[in-house]
Amino acid sequence: MKKRLFSGIQPSGDVHIGNYLGAIKNWITLIDDYDCIFSIVDYHAITVEYDPRQMQKRIINAAAVNIGAGLDPDRCILFVQSQVPEHAELTWILNTLTPMGLLERMTQYKDKSRQNEKNVNVGLFDYPVLQTADILLYKGGVVPIGEDQLQHVELSREIARKFNMRYGELFPEPQHLLSDAPRIMGLDGKTKMSKSMDNYISLIEEPGTIWKKLSRATTDENRKRRDDPGNPDICNLYTLHKYFSTETEIDKVNRECRSAEIGCIDCKKILSDNMIKVLAPIREKSLNLMDKPEEVLEVLDAGAKKCQEIARETMGKVRSLMGLR
């Protein structure tokens, strides 16, 4: 029996290269070793302001981009969270085991509260408990994530432990799994690349826009003029080269930036050309799928059916252990 793996992505905007390098690319390879369930977590995405008329499109696009990037729905489960209401039910139960003080410490909650000052709602506060329910509903033992989610997975372990101690052994304590790109920075080089910030390159970005965005991106800020030697160690774009360029190109950029043989624009051009090349097949397949939403919905419905069955079984056990009907 393969170990169960669970992870999710919010339909909160364009899926970007941070989501891809930090999570999706890893998910694709993990399918070989784990029994994988991936979710488009729409209940999470409604914790901030959004346009309900756009939500269905966002869900379909998020699924299309995941498949377009190489996530094979025949070899894993891909589904939409809100199609399995047990996520909300288990969240309520886990709420009763979660101290407020632990949730108050969550940095994502603090950051998002600052970003959404006019809508600091209970859902935003409770986000990590819903995430714990997502994982435990399927008895997910392994959770591949980006670094920003580490604190949440740690909390899920604590909640699982509490449930098991209080009501009887049922849940595994979820273990996180980081990719080799756990934190991709945004184009400003200062904040995490995020769907909700204007600092990302989407996986289906038009080639011209990739160049436009990279040409404005922040590099080594100490390098003021073309003739100044640069320092790749503190340049966010040099980090991106590591995921899109060849070894030879990376070495060359490293050397020639330090000696000022190339300027930032030259470095950006190489990165842009390579990024366009790497993302081209993902973009093509994703756009193709977006044009056939019924095919994507078929995949999602089939996934939901499988998840509903697993979720119903888990909730049966939860209710029985807790003395509920």
Q: Where are the alpha helices (DSSP H) in 105-167?
A: 107-115, 122-137, 150-167
Distance of closest approach, residue 244 Cβ to ligand AQP, in angstroms: 15
Query: Which segment (96-104, 134-142, 190-198, 253-261) binds ligand AQP by CB under 6 A?
Result: 190-198
CA separation for the pair 234, 30 (Å, rounded):
31
152 binds ligand AQP (CB under 6 A): no
Alpha-carbon distance 36 to 66, whole Å? 14
The tokens of 88 are what? 């909300």
Q: Does 18 bind ligand AQP (CB under 6 A)?
A: yes
Distance of CA 309 to the CA centre of its chain: 25
**Shortest reach from residue 66's CB to ligand AQP, in Å:** 10
Does residue 194 touch ligand AQP according to CB under 6 A?
A: yes
**Binding-site size, ligand AQP (CB under 6 A):** 22
Under the binding rule (CB under 6 A), the answer on residue 28 touching ligand AQP is no
Q: Distance between CA atoms of 202 and 35, rounded to whole angstroms?
A: 28
Give min distance, CB of 24 to ligand AQP, in A.
7
**Quick check: 115 binds ligand AQP (CB under 6 A)?**
no
Give the start-end residues of each E strand in 69-224: 77-80, 142-145, 175-178
Q: How many CA atoms lie within 13 A of 20 on its CB side?
A: 24
Quick one: which of 5, 6, 19, 238 contacts ligand AQP (CB under 6 A)?
19
Q: Can you read off the two tokens belonging to residue 30?
A: 């993990």
Q: Which residues neighbour 251 within 8 Å (Cβ) at sequence distance 6 or greater?
A: none
Element housing 90 (H / E): helix 86-95
- Quote the CA–CA distance of 75 and 191 in Å, as a whole number: 34
In the complex, what is the shortest distance from the CB of residue 145 to ligand AQP, in angstroms, rounded to a whole number? 4
The only residue of 65, 145, 210, 299 in contact with ligand AQP, by rule CB under 6 A: 145
Closer to ligand AQP by Cβ: residue 8 or 263 = 8
**Continuous segment of H or E residues that includes residue 36:** strand 35-40
262 vs 275, beta carbon nearer ligand AQP: 275
Which of 3, 162, 192, 258 binds ligand AQP (CB under 6 A)? It is 192
* Residue number with CB closer to ligand AQP (195 or 268): 195
User: Does residue 9 interact with ligand AQP by CB under 6 A?
Assistant: yes
From 195, 213, 223, 241, residue interacting with ligand AQP (rule: CB under 6 A): 195
* 8 A C-beta contact, residue 146 and residue 108: no
Q: Which is nearer to ligand AQP, 192 or 285 (CB)?
A: 192
Q: Answer whether 237's CB lies under 8 Å from 214's CB.
A: yes
Nearer residue to ligand AQP within complex by CB, 110 or 255: 110
Residues with catalytic roles: 112, 192, 195
Among 91, 149, 199, 245, binds ligand AQP (CB under 6 A): 149
Nearer to ligand AQP, 210 or 318 (CB): 210
Query: Does residue 119 touch ligand AQP according to CB under 6 A?
Result: no
Alpha carbons within 13 A on the beta-carbon side of 70: 18
| 58 neighbors 296 (Cβ within 8 angstroms) | no
Binding residues vs ligand AQP (CB under 6 A): 8-10, 12-13, 18-19, 22-23, 145-146, 148-149, 181-184, 192-196
